[in-house]
DNA sequence: CATCGATGTTGAG
DNA sequence: TCAACCTCGATGG
């Protein structure tokens, strides 16, 4: 589920808490034993994200390449940095204290209590309780037993990360990493604006495939998934079935511009909040319910928020496609 | 309890 | 086009 913003958040979390620390690397599940042995004892130089791909560079110059697919998620446990972005991803965003200001980091720690805090990826609860991992861990409590199917555990002295459910988890070389980056379309966070726009215009504007399909093609533009696809097209009034080569340069540029805007917002907030200028009641509803954060995604049959027309639903390339047939006619 | 479906991608047919 | 991959929350009995 993780679209591009989640993967950038994971890279950020690794960079905040892991680089330079010697790691015990294991595969509790047993399906990544050989790879774990290659990395065991090494330490992380830096993590990076491009599109939905995560790369973790190790001192011995090997790279752990992870793609979460549709189920994957990382759990971070231990001395985990909790900044506003992490807190927001776990539902604390928008909550205020008695002074009416956003919760401070300490208040989030306290408020978290028994709630999960640091699972990033597929929308599911963390397998660990925040308190037990951060408050004066004893030798018996650390490290916590893996819960569920953990493909790989990266464990430092004071923090660990568990990966479950990835579609890809492999050790690759620098050149193999470059080959992946080479074919990926532009990611607004890692590609300069002008260069990214040029590649997108060329790859999307030259194809007769419907734009709804092109936005899901990671070689055309990187990091967009089913939610952002539906939402961006609605925001710009574009029909998902319009061929890429039938769209004006201005509209294609508007798509790139919208992704340039939405991706950093998603990274900062941890949420795919694709509606703007919400009233207070709309904001509260959106924080409580995913479906209230979107214009059309997951709203088949419900009235369009703009014109009231029932939202359409169809299959495109085996994925659910949502759009408003009235608002999206470009 | 069983079954379904999901913010994804690959490869077989 | 479709099954397979892989995990687990939601849904329905």
Give how many domains chain A has, as a whole number. Answer: 2
Q: How far is the CA of A72 from the C1' of C6 (A)?
A: 8
Confidence tier at A270 by pLDDT (50, 70, 90):
confident
Nucleotide nearest to A217 (CA to C1'): B9
Q: What's the whole-model pTM score?
A: 0.89
Helix (H) or strand (E) holding A95: none
Task: Tell me: do A95 and A220 sit in the same domain.
Answer: no
Tokens of A42: 């090494």
**Averaged pLDDT for residues A254-279:** 90
**Averaged pLDDT for residues A103-129:** 55
Residue at which a domain ends, from A126, A146, A177: A177
Does the CB of A91 sit below 7 A from strand B? no
Does the CB of A236 sit below 7 A from strand B? no
Would you please indicate which residues of A are annotated as catalytic (active-site) residues? 2-3, 52, 319
Per-residue pLDDT reduced to its tens digit, A154-213: 999 988 999 999 999 999 999 999 999 999 999 999 999 999 999 999 999 999 999 999
Range of the domain at A19: 4-177
**Averaged pLDDT for residues A249-254:** 98
Q: How far is the CA of A149 from the C1' of B2 (A)?
A: 21
Considering A42-46, A130-134, A156-160, the range whose residues carry the highest mean pLDDT is A42-46
pLDDT of residue A244: 97
User: Distance (Å, rounded) from C-alpha A285 to C-alpha A328?
Assistant: 25
Is A328 part of any domain?
no
Question: CATH number of the domain that A43 lies in?
Answer: 3.20.190.10
**What sign results for the dihedral spanned by CA atoms A294, A296, A301, A305?**
positive
Q: How far is the CA of A322 from the C1' of B2 (A)?
A: 29
User: Distance (Å, rounded) from C-alpha A97 to C-alpha A232?
Assistant: 33
Lowest average pLDDT, out of A23-32, A287-296, A321-330, goes to A287-296
Is A330 part of any domain?
no
Nucleotide nearest to A127 (CA to C1'): C8
């Amino acid at each position: 589920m993780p679209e591009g913003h989640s993967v950038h958040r994971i890279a950020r979390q690794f960079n905040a808490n892991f680089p330079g620390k010697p790691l015990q690397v294991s595969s509790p599940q047993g399906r990544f034993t050989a790879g774990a042995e290659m990395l065991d004892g090494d330490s992380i130089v830096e993590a990076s994200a491009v599109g939905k791909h995560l790369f973790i560079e190790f001192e011995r110059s090997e790279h752990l390449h992870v793609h979460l697919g549709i189920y994957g998620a990382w759990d971070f446990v231990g001395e985990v940095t909790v900044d506003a972005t992490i807190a927001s991803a776990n539902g604390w965003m928008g909550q205020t204290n008695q002074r009416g200001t956003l919760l401070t980091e300490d208040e989030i720690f306290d408020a978290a209590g028994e709630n999960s805090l640091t699972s990033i990826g597929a929308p599911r609860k963390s397998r660990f309780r925040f308190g037990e991992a951060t408050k004066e861990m004893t030798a018996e409590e650390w490290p916590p037993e893996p819960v569920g199917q953990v493909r790989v555990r990266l464990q430092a002295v004071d923090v660990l990360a568990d990966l479950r459910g990835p579609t890809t988890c492999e050790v690759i070389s620098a050149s193999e990493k470059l080959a992946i980056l080479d074919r990926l379309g532009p990611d607004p966070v890692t590609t300069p604006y002008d260069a990214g726009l040029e590649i997108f215009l060329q790859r999307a504007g030259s194809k007769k495939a419907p734009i709804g399909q092109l936005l899901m093609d990671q070689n055309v533009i990187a990091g967009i998934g089913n939610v952002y696809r539906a939402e961006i097209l609605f925001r710009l009034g574009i029909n998902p079935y319009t061929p890429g080569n039938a769209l004006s340069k201005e509209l294609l540029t508007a798509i790139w511009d919208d992704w340039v805007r939405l991706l950093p917002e998603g990274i900062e907030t941890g949420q795919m909040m694709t509606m703007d200028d919400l009233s207070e009641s709309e904001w509260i509803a959106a924080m409580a319910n995913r479906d209230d954060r979107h214009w059309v995604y997951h709203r088949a049959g419900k009235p369009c928020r703009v014109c009231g027309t029932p939202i359409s639903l169809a299959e495109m390339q085996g994925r659910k496609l949502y759009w408003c047939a009235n608002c999206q006619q470009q």
